A = this chain, B = another copy of it.
Amino acid sequence: MVKVTFLPMEKTVEVPEGIKILDAAVLAGVEVESTCGGRGTCGKCKVLKRPLDCPEKTPEAVLACQEKITEDTLIILMEKREVTDRKINLNSAQEFRLKAGIKKLHLLVPRPSLHNPCPDWERLGQLLPFKEIGFHRKVAASLPQILRQQKHEVTVVLHGNSILAVEPGDTSSRAFGIAVDLGTTTVVAYLVDLIQGKVLAGRATTNPQNIFGADVISRIAYASQGPDRLEELQKKIVAALNWLISQLCAECFVSSEEIYQAVVVGNTTMAHLFLGIDPRYLASFPFTPVFRQEVEVEAGELGLAILSTGKVIVLPNIAGYVGSDTVGVMLAVGVDNLEGVNLIVDIGTNGEIILVGKGKLLTCSTAAGPAFEGGEIKCGMRAAAGAIEGVRIHENVELDIIGNERPQGICGSGLIDAVAEMVRTGIIDSSGSFQLKSDNLEKLPFGVKERVRINNEGGAEFVLVWASDCSIGEDIVITQKDIRKLQLAKGAIAVGIKILLKELGVKVKDIERVFLAGAFGNYIKKESALMLGLLPPVEPEKISAIGNAAGEGAKMALLSPDERFRAKVLARKTRHVELSVHKDFQEEFLKSFSFGNQI
């Protein structure tokens, strides 16, 4: 046996003495062009040849189909070309570089023989376009059967230099991924075709961890009771995702084994719980997470029902209360390409604020409380059918109801609208107090005036809907207490914006655009938000709602390793401002309660 090394691909093969270079090339999986069938007439198989360990010798040009190998030899190919296997029809592409950093290779693996008694893993590995392939026990476990199922014709799924799967036959036309937004309340998953680069379907379900508490703090408290509890929460969220995946797969005729990658975003607590990592110190100062970098784990390790060797990527988080969902928003908005100063506000129980400008990226989170989601408001409800989502006060009160049903309660955007109208019409003043003096009330039309009253508890309230007009059997009201809660929520957001502007050293007038992320942003009336001072006083046309930008960011990272990398850079570049200990926080917070602009 003699050794033959082919350049430039640096493939070495041991062959019996006396065989032709062309045959050695076949054994090495190296293509040498030849059109005359090896008769030495076409001259296309010309290669350079010299003894292997004699770098001082000048290589001579020979015909690969004629020249025999009699010693250890170096062969230098004239053209840079390498194919995986000659037996495959070269007209069809064999290497499929998919989105998501996944690659599929359709191969015909040589069968084992006395002369090629190589292990299955190595015969396969020799056809791959890189030198060292890591051994993957789970993929190797069933390789022998898969290889032989379709006469050694297989498709290899690669992620970087590691093999995720070997599939029998040619499956190169199919590859899927999942983008996930893990919300505290709602979990959303999108099934994405990685070849066409398009979203096939999306589904949402309630986060089943909600039985352990509606907010992250109660989930953290539950998880802190012991590893079993943490595991329970981890399994719950994975089960919800698996249910969404099964639904999506059924809807799109995709097998879960064809899903090779998942990209997940979520707040920092959700990321910890999803990965089964103890979140307990997120609940107390200084709100220390266990990790913030991007995490990549095998799906099987988490129990996620995609290909078990598939990759689950959790985008990086920034701080204890600014998670990868915010990084997803940054990706979707493209914060690194924005001109001037831009503000992004994701309003929810936890409001995340991003301020970008002067080459910097600042972020903070602020505890607005559940008022914006209708929580802890007397007649509050989620933005579902029957919720009042818009309010106008003129001669009387006009309402917009979700689903055109009889009103049942008031959701976040309706509350903001209603209170903004109450301020505009003077029912309450800018300090948020009801104006009960008769000369104030006298100015109001009768249909409005009669709605202001003192309730049984001695507090003032405003009747939005009379019991006779709604489905709950009693008046839908906005109480003085409700208004105080909204003031706190509005103040939290406003003070966050104000401190970030100060930290960046810019003024409101410098702001080019304001983006409202999250579902809530789609429904909020800009004018009302501006009137209450929830947003800085910019021209309304500068404000735009961008929907579930976090989920969009997850899809982008799923579809492109570049976006994944960009997410890392953005997360690392971001400076997190911890509001609770900021020197200006207390004072600004107290100032920010009044309606009207305090930013």
Contacts and interface: CB of A to CB of B under 8 A. Distances in A.
Interface in A121-174: 121-122, 135, 137, 140-145, 148
A290 B117 contact: no
Interface string A276-289: 11101100011111
B142 A227 contact: yes
B280 A135 contact: no
A135 B293 contact: yes
A119 B291 contact: yes
Interface in A293-333: 293, 295-297, 301, 319-320
Nearest to A317: B119
A290 B288 CA distance: 46
Nearest to A121: B291
Nearest to A360: B1
A120 interface: yes
Contacts of A285: 114
A344 B193 CA distance: 57
Contacts of A320: 117
Nearest to A292: B119
Interface string A516-537: 0000000000000000000000
A135 B295 contact: yes
A289 B289 CA distance: 46
A163 to B, nearest CB: 12
Nearest to A281: B144
A573 to B, nearest CB: 11
A320 B117 CA distance: 9
A578 interface: yes
A114 B578 CA distance: 8
Interface in A542-590: 575-576, 578, 581
A275 interface: yes
Given A140-B291, A227-B142, A291-B135, A281 B117 contact: no
A286 B141 contact: no
A293 B120 CA distance: 11
Given A135-B295, A281-B144, A301-B137, A120 B290 contact: yes
A143 B290 contact: yes
A292 B122 contact: yes
A113 interface: yes
Given A144-B290, A290-B143, A281 B120 contact: yes
Contact of A141 (B278, B575, B581): B278
A288 B141 contact: no
Contacts of A359: none
Given A144-B290, A281-B144, A286-B112, A295 B137 contact: yes
Contacts of A135: 291, 293, 295-296
A110 to B, nearest CB: 11
A120 B320 CA distance: 11
Interface string A188-217: 000000000000000000000000000000
Nearest to A293: B135
Contacts of A581: 114
Contact of A278 (B143, B275, B281, B296): B143
B137 A276 contact: yes
Contact of A140 (B117, B277, B280, B319): B277
Nearest to A112: B288
A406 to B, nearest CB: 50
A585 to B, nearest CB: 13
A295 to B, nearest CB: 5
B114 A280 contact: no
B141 A289 contact: no
Contacts of A230: 141
A285 B141 CA distance: 20
A214 to B, nearest CB: 24
A236 B598 CA distance: 71
Nearest to A296: B135
A117 B288 CA distance: 6
A289 B120 contact: yes
Contacts of A293: 121-122, 135
A276 B140 CA distance: 9
Contacts of A280: 144-145
A289 B275 CA distance: 36
Contacts of A575: 1
Contacts of A319: 117
Contacts of A297: 137
A427 to B, nearest CB: 43
Nearest to A234: B141
A277 B141 contact: yes
Contact of A119 (B119, B142, B143, B288): B288
A135 B114 CA distance: 44
A319 B119 CA distance: 8
Given A140-B291, A286-B112, A278 B145 contact: yes
Contact of A137 (B121, B122, B144, B277): B277
4 cross-chain pairs, A with B, having the tightest CB-CB distances, nearest first: A112-B288, A121-B291, A119-B289, A120-B290
26 contacts: A1-B575, A112-B288, A114-B286, A114-B578, A114-B581, A117-B287, A117-B288, A117-B319, A117-B320, A117-B578, A119-B291, A122-B293, A135-B293, A137-B276, A137-B277, A137-B297, A140-B275, A140-B290, A140-B291, A141-B230, A141-B277, A141-B278, A142-B278, A143-B290, A144-B281, A145-B280
Interface of A: 1, 112-114, 117-122, 135, 137, 140-145, 148, 227, 230, 275-278, 280-281, 285-293, 295-297, 301, 319-320, 575-576, 578, 581
